[in-house]
Amino acid sequence: MTAFGKVVRTTAFKLSAIYFVVFSVFAIAFVGWITRETDRFLTQQVRDTIEAEIGVLADEGLRSGLTGIVASIEQRSRVPGASLYVVTDSEGRVVAGNVTEVPPALLKLSGLEPVTVPYKRLEGETSHHIAMVQVLPLPNGFRMLIGRDISEIERIRELIGKAMISAVVLLIFLALVSWFFVSRRVLKRIDSVTATSRQIMAGDLSGRLEVTPAGDEFDRLAENLNAMLDRIVHLLHGLKDVSDNIAHDLKTPLTRLRTRVETTLAGPAEVEAYRAALEATIEESDQLIRTFNALLMIARVEAGSPDGALGPLDMAQIAADVVEFYEPVAEEAGVALKLSVEGPLPLHGSRELISQALTNLLDNAIKYVQTGEPAVETPVVTVAAQQVENEIVVSVSDNGPGIPESERLRVLQRFVRLEKSRSQPGSGLGLSLVDAVVKLHHGTVAMSDGGPGLVVTLRFPAET
Protein backbone atom coordinates (compact mmCIF):
# COMPACT_ATOMS: atom_id res chain seq x y z
CA MET A 1 0.00 0.00 0.00
CA THR A 2 1.33 3.45 -0.93
CA ALA A 3 1.84 6.26 1.55
CA PHE A 4 -1.15 8.11 0.08
CA GLY A 5 -3.27 4.99 0.41
CA LYS A 6 -2.36 4.71 4.08
CA VAL A 7 -3.29 8.36 4.61
CA VAL A 8 -6.65 7.89 2.87
CA ARG A 9 -7.46 4.93 5.11
CA THR A 10 -6.90 6.91 8.31
CA THR A 11 -9.85 8.10 10.38
CA ALA A 12 -8.45 11.63 10.45
CA PHE A 13 -8.51 11.84 6.65
CA LYS A 14 -12.05 10.47 6.48
CA LEU A 15 -13.30 12.89 9.14
CA SER A 16 -11.62 15.81 7.39
CA ALA A 17 -13.15 14.75 4.07
CA ILE A 18 -16.60 14.46 5.63
CA TYR A 19 -16.28 17.87 7.29
CA PHE A 20 -15.05 19.38 4.03
CA VAL A 21 -17.98 18.00 2.02
CA VAL A 22 -20.55 19.00 4.63
CA PHE A 23 -19.21 22.52 5.07
CA SER A 24 -18.72 22.98 1.32
CA VAL A 25 -22.30 22.00 0.57
CA PHE A 26 -23.56 24.22 3.36
CA ALA A 27 -21.39 27.18 2.35
CA ILE A 28 -22.27 26.91 -1.34
CA ALA A 29 -25.97 26.56 -0.57
CA PHE A 30 -25.89 29.46 1.88
CA VAL A 31 -23.92 31.79 -0.40
CA GLY A 32 -26.10 30.77 -3.35
CA TRP A 33 -29.23 31.59 -1.38
CA ILE A 34 -27.77 34.94 -0.31
CA THR A 35 -26.84 35.67 -3.93
CA ARG A 36 -30.28 34.79 -5.27
CA GLU A 37 -32.13 36.76 -2.61
CA THR A 38 -29.83 39.77 -3.00
CA ASP A 39 -30.19 39.74 -6.77
CA ARG A 40 -33.96 39.39 -6.52
CA PHE A 41 -34.18 42.25 -4.01
CA LEU A 42 -31.96 44.61 -6.00
CA THR A 43 -33.66 43.77 -9.29
CA GLN A 44 -37.07 44.40 -7.78
CA GLN A 45 -35.85 47.75 -6.47
CA VAL A 46 -34.77 48.72 -10.00
CA ARG A 47 -38.13 47.60 -11.43
CA ASP A 48 -40.00 49.62 -8.79
CA THR A 49 -37.88 52.69 -9.56
CA ILE A 50 -38.56 52.40 -13.32
CA GLU A 51 -42.28 51.97 -12.69
CA ALA A 52 -42.28 55.05 -10.46
CA GLU A 53 -40.47 57.10 -13.13
CA ILE A 54 -42.93 55.96 -15.77
CA GLY A 55 -45.82 56.93 -13.52
CA VAL A 56 -44.44 60.42 -12.93
CA LEU A 57 -43.75 61.02 -16.65
CA ALA A 58 -47.17 59.67 -17.57
CA ASP A 59 -48.78 62.21 -15.27
CA GLU A 60 -46.63 64.94 -16.85
CA GLY A 61 -47.76 63.80 -20.32
CA LEU A 62 -51.40 64.00 -19.34
CA ARG A 63 -50.91 67.57 -18.14
CA SER A 64 -48.54 69.00 -20.79
CA GLY A 65 -48.38 66.45 -23.57
CA LEU A 66 -45.23 65.40 -25.43
CA THR A 67 -43.57 68.77 -24.87
CA GLY A 68 -44.00 68.43 -21.11
CA ILE A 69 -42.50 64.93 -21.16
CA VAL A 70 -39.42 66.13 -23.10
CA ALA A 71 -38.96 69.11 -20.80
CA SER A 72 -39.28 66.93 -17.69
CA ILE A 73 -36.74 64.43 -19.05
CA GLU A 74 -34.28 67.24 -19.85
CA GLN A 75 -34.61 68.47 -16.30
CA ARG A 76 -34.38 65.04 -14.66
CA SER A 77 -31.40 63.87 -16.72
CA ARG A 78 -29.24 66.67 -15.33
CA VAL A 79 -29.73 65.63 -11.69
CA PRO A 80 -26.72 63.70 -10.20
CA GLY A 81 -27.45 60.00 -9.94
CA ALA A 82 -30.37 60.34 -12.32
CA SER A 83 -31.98 57.43 -14.09
CA LEU A 84 -31.40 56.80 -17.78
CA TYR A 85 -33.67 58.83 -20.11
CA VAL A 86 -33.91 58.87 -23.91
CA VAL A 87 -36.58 60.34 -26.16
CA THR A 88 -36.27 59.70 -29.91
CA ASP A 89 -38.30 60.97 -32.83
CA SER A 90 -39.87 58.86 -35.53
CA GLU A 91 -36.50 58.67 -37.35
CA GLY A 92 -34.71 57.33 -34.26
CA ARG A 93 -32.81 60.52 -33.54
CA VAL A 94 -32.20 61.38 -29.86
CA VAL A 95 -34.31 64.41 -28.96
CA ALA A 96 -33.64 64.48 -25.19
CA GLY A 97 -31.94 62.38 -22.52
CA ASN A 98 -28.62 61.50 -20.98
CA VAL A 99 -27.58 58.47 -23.07
CA THR A 100 -25.47 59.07 -26.17
CA GLU A 101 -26.00 55.78 -27.97
CA VAL A 102 -28.97 53.41 -28.02
CA PRO A 103 -29.15 50.30 -30.22
CA PRO A 104 -31.80 50.86 -32.92
CA ALA A 105 -33.25 47.43 -32.35
CA LEU A 106 -33.87 48.32 -28.72
CA LEU A 107 -36.08 51.27 -29.64
CA LYS A 108 -38.33 48.97 -31.60
CA LEU A 109 -39.07 46.99 -28.44
CA SER A 110 -41.92 48.03 -26.26
CA GLY A 111 -43.74 46.18 -23.54
CA LEU A 112 -44.61 45.93 -19.90
CA GLU A 113 -41.40 44.12 -18.80
CA PRO A 114 -37.98 45.82 -18.57
CA VAL A 115 -35.00 44.31 -20.41
CA THR A 116 -31.27 44.33 -19.66
CA VAL A 117 -28.95 45.91 -22.25
CA PRO A 118 -25.41 47.39 -22.51
CA TYR A 119 -25.09 51.15 -23.09
CA LYS A 120 -22.69 54.13 -23.25
CA ARG A 121 -23.55 57.01 -21.01
CA LEU A 122 -20.97 59.53 -22.28
CA GLU A 123 -19.90 60.24 -25.83
CA GLY A 124 -16.48 58.76 -26.58
CA GLU A 125 -16.62 56.39 -23.59
CA THR A 126 -14.98 53.06 -24.38
CA SER A 127 -16.42 50.98 -21.54
CA HIS A 128 -19.97 49.70 -21.59
CA HIS A 129 -22.42 49.77 -18.71
CA ILE A 130 -25.33 47.48 -18.04
CA ALA A 131 -28.80 48.87 -17.59
CA MET A 132 -32.35 47.66 -17.08
CA VAL A 133 -34.59 49.66 -19.37
CA GLN A 134 -38.16 49.83 -20.56
CA VAL A 135 -39.20 51.39 -23.93
CA LEU A 136 -42.60 53.07 -24.24
CA PRO A 137 -44.27 54.49 -27.40
CA LEU A 138 -45.22 58.17 -27.49
CA PRO A 139 -47.49 60.10 -29.91
CA ASN A 140 -46.28 60.92 -33.45
CA GLY A 141 -43.88 57.96 -33.59
CA PHE A 142 -41.74 59.19 -30.70
CA ARG A 143 -40.34 56.67 -28.26
CA MET A 144 -39.25 57.03 -24.67
CA LEU A 145 -36.64 54.88 -22.88
CA ILE A 146 -36.42 54.88 -19.09
CA GLY A 147 -33.91 52.74 -17.20
CA ARG A 148 -31.51 52.33 -14.30
CA ASP A 149 -27.86 51.47 -14.30
CA ILE A 150 -27.33 48.00 -12.78
CA SER A 151 -23.55 47.86 -13.09
CA GLU A 152 -23.31 47.94 -9.28
CA ILE A 153 -25.57 44.92 -9.09
CA GLU A 154 -23.36 43.09 -11.58
CA ARG A 155 -20.30 43.98 -9.52
CA ILE A 156 -22.03 42.64 -6.42
CA ARG A 157 -22.71 39.41 -8.27
CA GLU A 158 -19.05 39.19 -9.26
CA LEU A 159 -17.97 39.85 -5.68
CA ILE A 160 -20.28 37.13 -4.39
CA GLY A 161 -18.96 34.74 -7.01
CA LYS A 162 -15.38 35.50 -6.00
CA ALA A 163 -16.39 35.09 -2.36
CA MET A 164 -17.78 31.64 -3.14
CA ILE A 165 -14.54 30.63 -4.82
CA SER A 166 -12.51 32.06 -1.93
CA ALA A 167 -14.73 30.25 0.57
CA VAL A 168 -14.22 26.92 -1.19
CA VAL A 169 -10.45 27.48 -1.31
CA LEU A 170 -10.46 28.47 2.36
CA LEU A 171 -12.47 25.36 3.22
CA ILE A 172 -9.96 23.19 1.41
CA PHE A 173 -7.13 24.89 3.29
CA LEU A 174 -8.89 24.53 6.64
CA ALA A 175 -9.67 20.89 5.89
CA LEU A 176 -6.00 20.24 5.20
CA VAL A 177 -4.96 22.11 8.35
CA SER A 178 -7.53 20.26 10.47
CA TRP A 179 -6.43 16.96 8.96
CA PHE A 180 -2.83 17.81 9.81
CA PHE A 181 -3.58 18.62 13.43
CA VAL A 182 -6.07 15.78 13.86
CA SER A 183 -3.58 13.35 12.38
CA ARG A 184 -0.83 14.63 14.66
CA ARG A 185 -2.96 14.63 17.81
CA VAL A 186 -5.55 11.90 17.39
CA LEU A 187 -3.38 9.44 15.50
CA LYS A 188 -0.56 10.00 17.96
CA ARG A 189 -2.89 8.99 20.79
CA ILE A 190 -4.15 6.00 18.82
CA ASP A 191 -0.58 4.94 18.01
CA SER A 192 0.20 5.20 21.72
CA VAL A 193 -2.75 2.93 22.52
CA THR A 194 -1.60 0.49 19.84
CA ALA A 195 1.96 0.43 21.19
CA THR A 196 0.77 -0.13 24.75
CA SER A 197 -1.59 -2.89 23.60
CA ARG A 198 1.26 -4.66 21.83
CA GLN A 199 3.38 -4.32 24.96
CA ILE A 200 0.64 -5.92 27.04
CA MET A 201 0.00 -8.66 24.48
CA ALA A 202 3.72 -9.43 24.57
CA GLY A 203 3.32 -10.28 28.26
CA ASP A 204 4.37 -7.04 29.93
CA LEU A 205 1.34 -6.23 32.08
CA SER A 206 2.99 -3.14 33.55
CA GLY A 207 2.19 -1.08 30.43
CA ARG A 208 -0.42 1.63 30.85
CA LEU A 209 -2.06 4.08 28.46
CA GLU A 210 -0.88 7.68 28.50
CA VAL A 211 -3.12 10.15 30.36
CA THR A 212 -2.57 13.83 29.52
CA PRO A 213 -3.66 16.88 31.55
CA ALA A 214 -6.20 17.74 28.81
CA GLY A 215 -8.86 15.51 30.36
CA ASP A 216 -10.56 14.83 27.02
CA GLU A 217 -12.41 11.69 25.93
CA PHE A 218 -9.12 9.93 25.13
CA ASP A 219 -7.91 10.57 28.67
CA ARG A 220 -11.18 9.28 30.14
CA LEU A 221 -10.93 6.19 27.97
CA ALA A 222 -7.28 5.73 28.99
CA GLU A 223 -8.18 6.03 32.69
CA ASN A 224 -10.92 3.40 32.36
CA LEU A 225 -8.65 1.05 30.41
CA ASN A 226 -5.86 1.53 32.94
CA ALA A 227 -8.29 0.75 35.75
CA MET A 228 -9.36 -2.36 33.84
CA LEU A 229 -5.72 -3.40 33.41
CA ASP A 230 -5.09 -2.86 37.13
CA ARG A 231 -8.07 -5.08 37.87
CA ILE A 232 -6.85 -7.74 35.47
CA VAL A 233 -3.36 -7.67 37.01
CA HIS A 234 -4.90 -7.92 40.48
CA LEU A 235 -6.99 -10.92 39.42
CA LEU A 236 -4.00 -12.58 37.77
CA HIS A 237 -1.92 -12.10 40.91
CA GLY A 238 -4.82 -13.46 42.92
CA LEU A 239 -5.03 -16.46 40.62
CA LYS A 240 -1.31 -17.07 41.04
CA ASP A 241 -1.62 -16.79 44.81
CA VAL A 242 -4.58 -19.15 44.77
CA SER A 243 -2.67 -21.67 42.69
CA ASP A 244 0.33 -21.46 45.04
CA ASN A 245 -1.83 -21.71 48.14
CA ILE A 246 -3.88 -24.58 46.75
CA ALA A 247 -0.66 -26.46 46.09
CA HIS A 248 0.38 -25.80 49.69
CA ASP A 249 -2.88 -25.96 51.67
CA LEU A 250 -4.70 -28.69 49.78
CA LYS A 251 -1.73 -30.94 49.18
CA THR A 252 -1.34 -31.56 52.93
CA PRO A 253 -4.90 -32.86 53.60
CA LEU A 254 -4.84 -34.92 50.42
CA THR A 255 -1.52 -36.44 51.52
CA ARG A 256 -3.03 -37.19 54.95
CA LEU A 257 -6.00 -38.90 53.27
CA ARG A 258 -3.72 -41.09 51.18
CA THR A 259 -1.43 -41.90 54.13
CA ARG A 260 -4.38 -42.78 56.36
CA VAL A 261 -5.85 -45.13 53.75
CA GLU A 262 -2.48 -46.77 53.07
CA THR A 263 -1.83 -47.24 56.81
CA THR A 264 -5.25 -48.77 57.34
CA LEU A 265 -4.84 -51.14 54.41
CA ALA A 266 -1.38 -52.14 55.61
CA GLY A 267 -2.70 -52.99 59.09
CA PRO A 268 -4.85 -55.88 60.22
CA ALA A 269 -8.16 -56.24 58.40
CA GLU A 270 -10.41 -55.09 61.24
CA VAL A 271 -13.84 -53.59 60.74
CA GLU A 272 -13.37 -51.00 63.51
CA ALA A 273 -10.09 -49.78 62.04
CA TYR A 274 -11.66 -49.48 58.58
CA ARG A 275 -14.65 -47.60 60.02
CA ALA A 276 -12.44 -45.17 61.92
CA ALA A 277 -10.35 -44.56 58.80
CA LEU A 278 -13.44 -43.96 56.67
CA GLU A 279 -14.94 -41.58 59.21
CA ALA A 280 -11.70 -39.59 59.36
CA THR A 281 -11.56 -39.60 55.56
CA ILE A 282 -15.13 -38.29 55.34
CA GLU A 283 -14.35 -35.51 57.82
CA GLU A 284 -11.22 -34.54 55.89
CA SER A 285 -13.19 -34.65 52.61
CA ASP A 286 -15.89 -32.41 54.07
CA GLN A 287 -13.24 -29.86 54.98
CA LEU A 288 -11.87 -30.00 51.43
CA ILE A 289 -15.37 -29.56 49.99
CA ARG A 290 -15.96 -26.55 52.25
CA THR A 291 -12.68 -25.08 51.04
CA PHE A 292 -13.60 -25.53 47.38
CA ASN A 293 -17.10 -24.15 48.01
CA ALA A 294 -15.55 -21.07 49.62
CA LEU A 295 -13.25 -20.65 46.61
CA LEU A 296 -16.19 -20.92 44.21
CA MET A 297 -18.23 -18.42 46.20
CA ILE A 298 -15.33 -15.93 46.25
CA ALA A 299 -14.88 -16.37 42.48
CA ARG A 300 -18.60 -15.75 41.84
CA VAL A 301 -18.67 -12.70 44.09
CA GLU A 302 -15.54 -11.19 42.54
CA ALA A 303 -17.02 -11.81 39.09
CA GLY A 304 -20.10 -9.84 40.12
CA SER A 305 -22.52 -12.77 39.72
CA PRO A 306 -23.53 -13.84 43.24
CA ASP A 307 -26.27 -16.35 43.93
CA GLY A 308 -29.58 -14.61 44.54
CA ALA A 309 -30.82 -11.18 43.58
CA LEU A 310 -29.82 -7.94 45.24
CA GLY A 311 -32.57 -6.05 47.01
CA PRO A 312 -33.43 -3.80 49.96
CA LEU A 313 -32.58 -5.14 53.41
CA ASP A 314 -32.06 -4.01 57.01
CA MET A 315 -28.50 -4.31 58.32
CA ALA A 316 -29.73 -4.00 61.91
CA GLN A 317 -31.90 -7.10 61.51
CA ILE A 318 -29.06 -9.05 59.85
CA ALA A 319 -26.67 -8.20 62.70
CA ALA A 320 -29.27 -9.22 65.31
CA ASP A 321 -29.94 -12.55 63.55
CA VAL A 322 -26.24 -13.41 63.22
CA VAL A 323 -25.54 -12.58 66.88
CA GLU A 324 -28.53 -14.63 68.01
CA PHE A 325 -27.31 -17.58 65.93
CA TYR A 326 -23.81 -17.41 67.46
CA GLU A 327 -24.84 -16.91 71.08
CA PRO A 328 -24.72 -20.67 71.89
CA VAL A 329 -21.31 -20.98 70.19
CA ALA A 330 -19.94 -18.00 72.12
CA GLU A 331 -21.37 -19.28 75.41
CA GLU A 332 -19.80 -22.69 74.86
CA ALA A 333 -16.44 -21.01 74.11
CA GLY A 334 -16.71 -18.83 77.20
CA VAL A 335 -16.93 -15.60 75.21
CA ALA A 336 -19.26 -12.73 76.10
CA LEU A 337 -21.13 -11.72 72.93
CA LYS A 338 -22.56 -8.18 72.82
CA LEU A 339 -24.74 -6.37 70.27
CA SER A 340 -24.99 -2.61 69.76
CA VAL A 341 -27.32 -1.63 66.93
CA GLU A 342 -29.06 1.63 66.05
CA GLY A 343 -31.69 0.72 63.50
CA PRO A 344 -33.26 0.48 61.10
CA LEU A 345 -30.28 0.55 58.71
CA PRO A 346 -31.51 0.41 55.09
CA LEU A 347 -29.10 -1.22 52.65
CA HIS A 348 -29.26 -2.55 49.09
CA GLY A 349 -27.53 -5.87 48.60
CA SER A 350 -27.58 -9.63 49.07
CA ARG A 351 -28.81 -10.74 52.48
CA GLU A 352 -27.12 -14.12 52.12
CA LEU A 353 -23.68 -12.71 51.26
CA ILE A 354 -23.70 -9.96 53.88
CA SER A 355 -24.85 -12.48 56.50
CA GLN A 356 -22.03 -14.81 55.43
CA ALA A 357 -19.46 -11.99 55.69
CA LEU A 358 -20.65 -10.99 59.17
CA THR A 359 -20.70 -14.68 60.18
CA ASN A 360 -17.09 -15.12 59.08
CA LEU A 361 -15.97 -12.07 61.10
CA LEU A 362 -17.87 -13.21 64.18
CA ASP A 363 -16.58 -16.79 63.86
CA ASN A 364 -12.97 -15.54 63.60
CA ALA A 365 -13.40 -13.22 66.58
CA ILE A 366 -14.80 -15.99 68.81
CA LYS A 367 -12.19 -18.48 67.57
CA TYR A 368 -9.10 -16.31 68.08
CA VAL A 369 -10.04 -14.02 71.01
CA GLN A 370 -8.42 -16.43 73.52
CA THR A 371 -5.36 -17.47 71.49
CA GLY A 372 -3.02 -14.80 72.84
CA GLU A 373 -0.35 -15.09 75.50
CA PRO A 374 -1.43 -14.63 78.25
CA ALA A 375 -5.07 -15.61 77.71
CA VAL A 376 -7.80 -13.00 78.20
CA GLU A 377 -9.59 -13.36 81.52
CA THR A 378 -12.95 -12.14 80.18
CA PRO A 379 -13.04 -12.49 76.39
CA VAL A 380 -15.60 -10.13 74.81
CA VAL A 381 -16.77 -9.88 71.20
CA THR A 382 -18.94 -6.89 70.21
CA VAL A 383 -21.00 -6.43 67.04
CA ALA A 384 -22.03 -2.83 66.37
CA ALA A 385 -23.98 -1.29 63.50
CA GLN A 386 -25.06 2.31 62.87
CA GLN A 387 -25.62 4.83 60.08
CA VAL A 388 -23.05 7.59 59.73
CA GLU A 389 -24.23 10.17 57.19
CA ASN A 390 -24.67 8.22 53.92
CA GLU A 391 -22.93 5.05 55.07
CA ILE A 392 -23.90 1.96 57.03
CA VAL A 393 -20.99 1.17 59.39
CA VAL A 394 -20.73 -2.37 60.82
CA SER A 395 -17.91 -3.36 63.17
CA VAL A 396 -16.85 -6.57 64.88
CA SER A 397 -14.38 -6.01 67.74
CA ASP A 398 -12.74 -8.19 70.37
CA ASN A 399 -10.26 -7.80 73.22
CA GLY A 400 -7.94 -10.59 72.07
CA PRO A 401 -4.39 -10.48 70.71
CA GLY A 402 -5.43 -8.72 67.48
CA ILE A 403 -3.47 -8.67 64.23
CA PRO A 404 -0.17 -6.81 63.69
CA GLU A 405 -0.62 -3.72 61.53
CA SER A 406 1.85 -5.04 58.96
CA GLU A 407 -0.32 -8.15 58.42
CA ARG A 408 -3.77 -6.55 58.23
CA LEU A 409 -3.86 -6.21 54.45
CA ARG A 410 -2.29 -9.61 53.86
CA VAL A 411 -4.94 -11.49 55.85
CA LEU A 412 -7.53 -10.45 53.25
CA GLN A 413 -5.77 -12.64 50.69
CA ARG A 414 -6.74 -16.23 50.05
CA PHE A 415 -5.28 -19.01 52.24
CA VAL A 416 -3.42 -16.58 54.49
CA ARG A 417 -3.40 -17.79 58.09
CA LEU A 418 -1.30 -16.08 60.76
CA GLU A 419 -1.48 -19.13 62.98
CA LYS A 420 1.65 -21.02 61.96
CA SER A 421 0.68 -24.22 63.76
CA ARG A 422 -2.72 -24.32 62.00
CA SER A 423 -4.21 -25.99 65.04
CA GLN A 424 -7.47 -24.08 64.61
CA PRO A 425 -9.90 -25.36 61.95
CA GLY A 426 -10.23 -23.25 58.84
CA SER A 427 -8.87 -22.69 55.36
CA GLY A 428 -7.77 -19.04 55.39
CA LEU A 429 -10.61 -18.01 53.06
CA GLY A 430 -13.00 -16.34 55.51
CA LEU A 431 -11.59 -12.81 55.32
CA SER A 432 -11.07 -13.13 51.56
CA LEU A 433 -14.79 -13.79 51.20
CA VAL A 434 -15.56 -10.81 53.45
CA ASP A 435 -13.40 -8.55 51.27
CA ALA A 436 -15.05 -9.83 48.07
CA VAL A 437 -18.58 -9.35 49.47
CA VAL A 438 -17.86 -5.80 50.63
CA LYS A 439 -16.37 -4.83 47.25
CA LEU A 440 -19.41 -6.30 45.49
CA HIS A 441 -21.57 -3.91 47.55
CA HIS A 442 -19.25 -0.94 46.75
CA GLY A 443 -18.03 -0.82 50.35
CA THR A 444 -14.70 -0.88 52.15
CA VAL A 445 -13.00 -3.05 54.80
CA ALA A 446 -10.73 -1.54 57.44
CA MET A 447 -8.89 -3.04 60.39
CA SER A 448 -7.74 -1.05 63.39
CA ASP A 449 -6.32 -1.57 66.85
CA GLY A 450 -8.98 -2.12 69.52
CA GLY A 451 -6.60 -1.48 72.39
CA PRO A 452 -6.54 -4.38 73.10
CA GLY A 453 -7.86 -6.54 70.32
CA LEU A 454 -8.89 -5.97 66.74
CA VAL A 455 -11.70 -3.93 65.22
CA VAL A 456 -12.86 -4.90 61.72
CA THR A 457 -15.07 -2.18 60.20
CA LEU A 458 -17.27 -2.63 57.13
CA ARG A 459 -18.71 0.42 55.38
CA PHE A 460 -21.59 0.14 52.90
CA PRO A 461 -23.40 2.93 51.03
CA ALA A 462 -26.81 3.42 52.63
CA GLU A 463 -29.92 3.03 50.50
CA THR A 464 -31.59 6.39 49.89
> Which tens digits make up the pLDDT trace of 431-448?
887 888 888 888 888 888
Q: Over range 89-112, report the average pLDDT.
A: 74
Position 374 scores a pLDDT of 65
Position 125 scores a pLDDT of 59
pLDDT tens profile 200-238: 888 777 888 888 887 777 788 888 888 888 888 877 776
pLDDT tens profile 155-200: 877 887 787 778 778 877 877 777 777 766 777 777 788 888 888 8
pLDDT band of 1, cuts 50, 70, 90: low
Position 421 scores a pLDDT of 40
- Which pTM does this prediction carry? 0.49
Name the more confident of 204 and 366: 366
The residues with which 145 forms a beta bridge, in sequence order, are: 86, 135
Q: Checking DSSP bridges between strand 311-314 and strand 115-119, what pairing results, if any?
A: unpaired
Q: What is the DSSP annotation of 82-141? A: --EEEEE-TT--EEEES-SB--HHHHT---SS-EEEEEBSSTT--S-EEEEEEEEE-GGG
Asked if residues 302 and 441 have their Cβ atoms less than 8 Å apart, the reply is no
CA distance 348 to 462: 7
- Indicate whether 275 pLDDT > 70: yes
- Indicate whether 420 pLDDT > 50: no
> Looking at 235-281, which runs of residues are DSSP E strands?
none
pLDDT band of 262, cuts 50, 70, 90: confident
131-154 burial code (b ≥16 CB/10 A, e <16): bbbbbbebeeebbbbbbbbbeebe
pLDDT band of 245, cuts 50, 70, 90: low
Question: Percentage of the chain surpassing pLDDT 90?
Answer: 1
Q: Over range 57-62, report the average pLDDT.
A: 83
3-state secondary structure of 426: coil
